[in-house]
Structure 1
Amino acid sequence: MGRLGCNLDGNLNDTKFAEPMPWIGIYVAVASSACAVAMAADAIHGFHQRKFWFPCKYFTINATSLTLIGIAIKLSVDLYTSMPGRRDQLTKLSSSVFMCTVMGNSMPSLGTMENKEIFMNIIALGILVFTLIVNICIQLGTGVIYLFWKEHAFVMFLMLVLLVILSFSALTVPCTKRYLELKYNYKYNLAVQEGSNETGIGVVKKLKQDLMKFCMMAHTSSPQFVMGRSVTCTASGALCLLCAMILAEAMLQSFFMPRSFEFCKGESDYKWSTTLVLVTQTIAVGVGTFAPAFRWLQAINFSCPKRGRKSYKDEFRLERYWIQGLVEMKDCPLALRMHDRRLRKLVNDGKKLFLNLCIGIQTGIVFMSKVIRLISIYFASRILICCECFRELNMKFKPNDSISNDSQSESKNGQELDLSRFVLFLEGENALVELMMKKNCSATVQRMHSRKKHQPKHLVKLLEMSTLSMGFKGVKEFDNDEIPSLDSEQPPNCWALPVVTLTSIALILPDINHCSLKQLRHGVTEGLKYVKYIENSLDANGDLRNVRMAADVVWQGVDLYHKWLDVDLRELSLLGKTPEEILEGLADFARNKYMKHKKMHMNVCLKETPGRWPIQILAANSMYRVSKTILRSYESRKGQPITTLFEALVVMISDILGACLTNLLCFIANNCLNSRIEEREESVRQAAYLLGETEQILRMLDKISFPGLIPDQMASINEWRLLHKLNNPFPFSPISQEYDAASSSSHNVFLTIE
């Protein structure tokens, strides 16, 4: 009978039912800790990026976070387990405050979601909130929660208000995205037109000026930033801070004034785990309240009257974008399959009545949010004015040396550009233009300047050995068309695969100085980083995906294990063979590898184009052709030392990398436009980082001329090889013209899409 859960008397044996409860408490604490860590990571990320509106990168409203939240509030929704002690009752309250904190903290993340995703996540969050509120009300009625009932009631009210603010703020996201996207297109046209009219300046300086404009547009139109600077988001920050203060008040009162409460005797089934949950959730509330409270303080700091010069006559005007989406839904006809005209009319009238109610609620939410901001300003203005005076005095006696002279001159140059024209703002945000311009301008300058310390020095030394003035001849010389192919079909080339193949051969050569080999390996590693950026961006259709993957696989083996596929490069180098024997052996091994894998994947190769063959076949084909080409070239020059062969290989590698890096300009131009509005700020920021890192390389390339190819042709190594094969090659043009062509090309592609 014991196996069936009954005791000897036949009654239910419930003595072991409560044993797992402390483990459930640990489970709740772990979920709360995960949320706290994610919110702390967002706060650190905001400080690191100097984004003091704290975007949500790690903790957003999604399926994972909602699951963790559901686990974290387990103790508050537990209807039957008695919670008699002081810590038990506080844990019930901390879970409710934790839910409020989560909603306020993750509000900017709504900007990153698509319409359907917003709807589903808000519905899921609403179910969690209503479940929590209903269960707390039941526990207040049954006596499971017998203390802090005023705090619980107030927190539940704030929880509902936060949910309503979150839900109705989400309605503005599609409208603001659409408006800012159109505005970005117009400003992008203006920036490109202004850039094309500027002459007589270097490409690096021109690129910096353009990136200052693009960074300003991308940052100020970022959906997360738009949501984070909205009045409803700042109001939710004030409410989150109020919830945290309620929890702090309850904890201080219960611990320091215990006589004002009558705690029940006994122990909860959760035992010691309630203390762990309370500590964890208190930390989570403290960490999670930081970002919303800081957004609120930032809004107060800017909106406070500076010595009485601030006017609030337009403060309570309702901006159109708040209700634009609801008005559009109201005017949009319903696609109903109803034959009864009266029923269709009734449904349509009901829809209009409901949407009119929603418009009224939205208007009330915006009005309430502005009232909260004004009340906050009234109480905080005197303190902030004193802080401002102290800051001004401090600036007079303490010079600002945090930015170097170089970045100061760049910042001044950014102000001379009048970047206020490229600040994208919504109705009613005119007063924010100057603030957003100053903060983002300095952030962009520091972003570029900070990356100058990370210049790829090994890659620069490698590029200095290339045949810059001769049009990168190595692009043609690494593969001789007279070499018989292994198959009737020849797979295409990408930029990375010849580089890693040539480097593999160079590392095999015996009697080469170790420092030279180390320098080559580091230079290629740094170069492949930028090659990967370029190829991922410019190969939009994925035609060379397998070829690029073959290069990644080969280089990982060469760099980490000194192996090309299964060939140990160190063993070949130490065997003491002549270069001819090494190259011939590599070619034979590659041919055998090619035939073996071609036979194994015959069905795949017949169905797919050569560019999509398995990576082992592509790598083996590249090694065979390159080895045969180098062998034929070396045999034609008898008596040359092996160091000459090594230097020739290094020049080829440098030429291919140099030719590929001419596409950096096109890559940067593409990143500034051809991305979704949710990802555009990150793309432009990466472009700014890339400019800071590669400034020395771009200056080096700016001294020479390049083939007059359109950007699509510049991106293809096969087009470069075709150019070199022509007896009368295309005319060469300055790099600045290539940048203008890249910008115009990106712009034209976008207009076609529109």
Structure 2
Amino acid sequence: MGKLGCNIDGNLDDTKFSQPMPWIGLYVAAASLAFLIAMAADVIQGIRYRKFWFPCKFSSLNATSLTLLAVAIKLSVDLNTSMPSRQDQLAKLSNTVFICTVMSNSMPSLGTMENKEMFTNILALGILVITVIVNICIQLATGVIYVFWKEHALILFIMLVLLLLLSFSALTVPNTKQYLELKYTKKHQLALKEGLNQTRKPVVDKLREDLMKYWMMAHTGNPQFVVGRSVTCTASGAFCLLSLATLAQAMVRSQFMPWSFKFCSGESVYKWSTTLVLATQTIAAGVGSIGPACRWFIAINFSRPKRGNQTGRNEFKVENYWIQSLVEMKESPLTFLPFHNKLCRKLAHDAKDYFLNLCIGVQIGLVLMSKGIRLISTLFVSRILYCYDCCRGLKKLIFKSVSNTESVSDSQPYSKLDLSRFVLDLEGEDALVEKMKKCNWDPTDYWFQMGEKRRPKYLITLLKRSTHGFKGVVEFDSNRIPSLESEEPPNCWALPVVTLTCIAVTLPNIGPTLIEELLCSVNEGLTYIRLLENNLDTIKELLNIRRAAEGVWVRVELYRKWLDVDLHKLSLQGKTQQEILQKLSDNAKNKLLEFHRNHTPQCLKHGPLKWPIKILAANSMYRITQSMLLTRQSGNAQMGEKLFETVAVMISDILGACLTNMQRFISMKCLSSAIEEREDSVRHAIDILGKAEKILKFQEHGESPGLDPCQMASIDEWRLFYMQKPLPFNPSPSQIETASSSSSDLYLIID
């Protein structure tokens, strides 16, 4: 028997070397499939959010995508494996086309990168592309690739041009971000000034108009959109389509014109996997070309109206921001040189100047080439667009009488708002402003309507029980309760709501429908409380208390348990309301006492903010149940058999008081985000406004305390204000109905 790796004769046994190759091909197909899914997800998301320039979120250029790309192009860099059949040679070609598609599709993602990240990603991509180009040339010379050599030569040229477009477009991103940020500040001041003059408008209408302005600024200033609408990205889209067309014609010719090719007989060591790789990468190239093609088409559509009025000189003008960073680098001296010899330093500076002059020339050439491609594309595609415009005009003329009789929609006044003055454009982008003004394209109405469809109906019903002034904010916790601690933890909005809900669930003789509706209402309300607390609590000191509320709520919603107490079982034990309150109070008190017995004073010196979440929940339960028991002992009729209604009103008051911060939250959502995230933040704010429209209208007619916006975000500030200035009792509408319906009857309540 021979040694391991050798046959009986002692020679190297290479018969098993090719056995795993089909599985390697399957691995390549899997990496290509991952890219296909990522690019398809970007297409779906772009259509869903009406971003038809298709930003890159899942298929952006980063370390993960570059690693997958290196795996997916394994066939292109395989120098010595024979690929005799038709599908083998097409798989080689699809590999190179796939690289072009990925490069063109991921180009807008340059706008989301920091300078250092951008440099490393472009450098890694450049090394990968140069390696592929060299390996393909070697395979063309050695005969591994023996057909489609013209197609390969064209794709390699496109690949090199796309790499240059990506690299030199990245140089403009930092400067354009700074310029757009300055322009956004000026437009923002204009929007604020206009907002101050609209104080008489309803809150919802004012917020909608403000969000339309902020969306236009965020959308046109989105770095991905800025890169996506640039002439270099337009050119990359054209090159991407050209590479896809090259692959398509090669596949069609090889299938339907077999006499024009002479393929070798035999089978590749990749066997059946090359067909799988070819199919996956062809589909991926088709899906990945949707984004570049749409950006190319949109750029043509933007430039079309001004084409007839521009001179050739203006059309082929290279704006300053294209070469600004290179000029700044050229003007900056080399300060860190490893040598002090004057001649050496002079040679280094001269070499730097020559290199940067070359880069400036290449950048100018790429921009001029891209503008030439855009102009040629506009000349051809504009005829199709003009025919489309004529068909639209004819359709409007035919259906003019029908459209005149249609009722005016609620969103029509908003669509008439001129948003062109809030467009953030770069030098030479006058066509963008004109196009935005002409088409008045604004998706905020669509997003608002999508939010309206998901309104919190249970929460809105619960908020109708609120009292004027939200007196439940004070009443849920009485100051007359003796404290078990030397220092009480502060309150957050969520924890008392969760604790009160636990009490309501435990009360006996309450219908399951009422319990379920209350749980649904609180669940919807906690979603908004979470948003408000996470965004308005800048100190973050209540983070542990909010975690306590989240932890308790999960067990209440899913298991009907408060910590280790089964609430449903407790409600079925036939006890009175007072006994249940006492049971919950004793359970919470025991947990607090046990906690203090097991911890030394040194462990407790950090204060209640560092307590475990179970102890914070127990402290809240103890104080609230004791407050209710104290109120019952004082003979308050509200704490009799109508305790469930009273607790629901308290929950409604706390939720209503918290949601008075919704207007401030929506406004802050548009201002506090970075330039890369601003558009998504505004879209989220519009969605929230659509959901909370009825809540804001309901609160607009109510009374709010005389607190500044920062104080209104804190429940303890509300309580302090009302304790200093007692709030008169104003019953909720539901309580008024209950009182009026029972005024003619006499009830004898026996506990």
Structure 1 residues 312 and 613: CA distance shift in structure 2, 3 A: farther
TM-score scaled to structure 2, two decimals? Answer: 0.92
Give 1:405 deviation, angstroms: 8.1
Q: Answer whether contact 1:723 1:729 (CA < 8 A) is retained.
A: no
Alignment of structure 1 residues 153-302 onto 2, 5 Å: 153-302=153-302
Deviations 1:291-341 (A, max 9, x none): 101111222233336996666551111111111222222223333155444
Is the contact between residue 415 and residue 440 of structure 2 (CA under 8 Å) also seen in structure 1?
no
Offset, 1:588:
2.3
Residue of structure 1 equivalent to 2:390: 389
- Aligned match of 2:684: 686
- Aligned equivalent of 2:626: 628
Give 2:735's aligned residue: none
TM-score, normalization: structure 1?
0.92
Bigger shift: residues 566-575 or 682-691: 566-575
The residue aligned with 1:614 is 612
CA contact (8 A) 1:98 1:281 kept: yes
Is it true that 1:145 corresponds to 2:136 in the alignment?
A: no
Change (3 A) 1:274 1:623: same
Structure 2: gaps of 5 or more residues: 729-751
SS at match of 1:77: coil
Whether the aligned pair in 1 keeps the contact of 2:628 and 2:639 (CA below 8 Å) is no
CA contact (8 A) 2:455 2:692 kept: yes
Q: 1:429 maps to what in 2?
A: 429
Change (3 A) 1:331 1:297: same
Superposed displacement of residue 508, structure 1? 1.0
Q: Report the secondary structure of 1:19's partner residue.
A: coil
Pick closer, same or farther for the CA change 1:138–1:605 going to 2, 3 Å.
Answer: farther
* Cα RMSD, aligned residues only: 2.5
Structure 1 residue 718, shift from structure 2 partner: 1.0
Q: For 1:263 and 1:518, how far apart are their aligned partners in 2?
A: 71
Output the CA distance in 1 between the equivalents of 2:216 and 2:117. 28
Structure 2 CA distance for partners of 1:85 and 1:399, relative to 1, 3 Å = farther
Shift of 1:395: 2.8
> Aligned residue for 2:364?
363
Q: Secondary structure at the match of 2:704?
A: strand
**Structure with larger Rg:** 2
- Aligned-partner Cα distance in 2 for 1:708–1:402: 49
Partner in structure 2 of residue 748 of structure 1? none
Whether the 8 Å contact between 1:423 and 1:437 is mirrored in structure 2 is: no
**Cα distance, 1:60 vs structure 2:** 0.5
Task: Give the letter for the 1:493 counterpart.
Answer: N
Amino acid at match of 2:214: F
Q: Could you tell me how far apart the structure 2 residues matched to 1:199 and 1:521 are?
A: 37
- Give the whole-Å Cα distance in 2 for the aligned partners of 1:255 and 1:143: 22
CA deviations 1:184-233 (Å, max 9, x no partner) are: 11111111122112232222211112111111111111111111111111
CA contact (8 A) 2:638 2:646 kept: no
Q: What residue is the counterpart of 1:741 in the other structure?
A: none
Cα drift, residue 695 of structure 1 = 0.8
Query: Given that residues 305 and 381 in structure 1 are in contact (C-alpha distance below 8 angstroms), is that contact kept between their aligned partners in structure 2?
Result: no
Aligned partners of 2:620, 2:535: CA distance in 1, in Å? 23
Q: Give the Cα separation in 2 of the matches to 1:281 and 1:353.
A: 41
2:652 partner amino acid: S
Aligned in 2, Cα 1:366/1:589: closer, same or farther, shift over 3 Å? same
Letter in 2 for 1:209: E
Percent of matched pairs sharing the same residue: 60
Residue in structure 2 matching 1:536, options 518, 534, 548: 534
CA deviation map 1:334-382 (0-9, x unaligned): 3315544443343333323322222111111110000001111222222
Is 2:2–2:10's contact at 8 Å kept on the other side of the alignment? no
Bigger shift: residues 685-694 or 331-340: 331-340
Letter in 2 for 1:614: P
Q: What is residue 38 of structure 2 aligned with on the other side?
A: 38
1:104 aligns to what?
Answer: 104
- Please give the alpha-carbon distance, in whole angstroms, between the structure 2 residues aligned to 1:406 and 1:670: 35
Label 1:240 to 1:723 Cα distance change in 2 as closer, same or farther (>3 A): same
Distance 1:21 1:592, change over 3 A: farther
The alpha carbon displacement at 1:729 in A equals 8.4
Task: Count residues with an aligned counterpart.
Answer: 727
Deviations 1:645-701 (A, max 9, x none): 111111111111111111111111111111110011111111111111111110111
Distance 1:447 1:481, change over 3 A: same
Question: Cα deviations across residues 138-189 of structure 1 (Å, max 9, x unaligned)?
Answer: 2222222111111111101100100110111111111111111111111111
1:560 corresponds in structure 2 to 558
Separation in structure 2 between the aligned mates of residue 615 and residue 481 of structure 1, nearest angstrom: 23
Against the structure 1 CA distance between its residues 310 and 364, is the aligned structure 2 distance closer, same or farther, given a 3 Å change threshold? closer
2:532–2:665 contact (8 Å) kept in structure 1: yes
Quickly say closer, same or farther: Cα 1:311–1:487, change in 2 above 3 A. Answer: same
For 1:688 and 1:401, locate their aligned partners in 2 and report how far apart those are by CA, in whole Å. Answer: 31
Q: What residue number does 1:725 align with?
A: 723
User: Does 677-686 or 79-88 show the bigger shift?
Assistant: 79-88
How many angstroms does 1:512 deviate by? 0.7
The Cα shift of 1:580 comes to 1.8
Structure 2 matches for 1:428-447, cutoff 5 A?
428-437=428-437, 441-447=441-447
Q: CA–CA distance in 1 between the matches of 2:319 and 2:307?
A: 27
- What is the distance in 1 between the residues matched to 2:615 and 2:651? 22
CA contact (8 A) 2:29 2:277 kept: yes
The CA distance in 2 between the partners of 1:341 and 1:643, in whole Å, is: 96
The equivalences for 1:290-689 within 5 A come to 290-304=290-304, 313-336=313-336, 338-398=339-399, 408-415=409-416, 417-437=417-437, 441-467=441-467, 469=468, 471-596=469-594, 606=604, 608-637=606-635, 643-689=641-687
Contact 2:303-2:431 within 8 A present in 1 as well:
no
CA distance in 1, matches of 2:495, 2:405: 41
Q: Find the counterpart in structure 2 of residue 122 from structure 1.
A: 122
- CA shift in 2, pair 1:305/1:678, >3 Å: closer
| Distance in 2 of aligned mates of 1:635 and 1:539 | 37
- CA gap of 1:544–1:349, structure 2 versus 1, over 3 A, is farther
| Aligned partner letter, 1:134 | V
The residue that corresponds to 1:28 in the other structure is 28
Distance of 1:524 and 1:406 partners within structure 2: 38
Query: Residues 564 and 407 (structure 1 numbering): CA distance in 2 closer, same or farther, change over 3 Å?
Result: farther
Distance 1:555 1:149 in 2: 66
- Structure 1 residues 418 and 137 mapped into 2: Cα distance closer, same or farther (>3 Å)? same
Q: For residue 733 of structure 2, what is the aligned residue in structure 1?
A: none
Q: Distance in 1 between matches of 2:130 and 2:538?
A: 45
Residue 71 (structure 1) aligns with:
71
1:316 and 1:367 in contact (8 A); partners too: yes
The secondary structure found in structure 1 opposite 2:314 is: coil
Structure 1 position 606, deviation (Å): 4.2
1:739 is matched with: none
Per the alignment, residue 48 of structure 1 pairs with: 48
What is the one-letter code of the residue matched to 2:82? Answer: S
Give the match for residue 740 of structure 2.
Answer: none
Specify the SS of the correspondent of 1:725.
helix
Alpha-carbon spacing, 1:151–1:35, altered in 2? closer, same or farther (3 Å) = same
Which AA in structure 1 matches 2:387?
Answer: C
The alpha-carbon distance between structure 1 residues 402 and 31, as it changes in their structure 2 partners (threshold 3 A), is: farther
Confirm or deny: 8 A CA contact 1:491 1:610 kept in the other structure.
yes
Greater CA drift, 328-337 or 235-244: 328-337
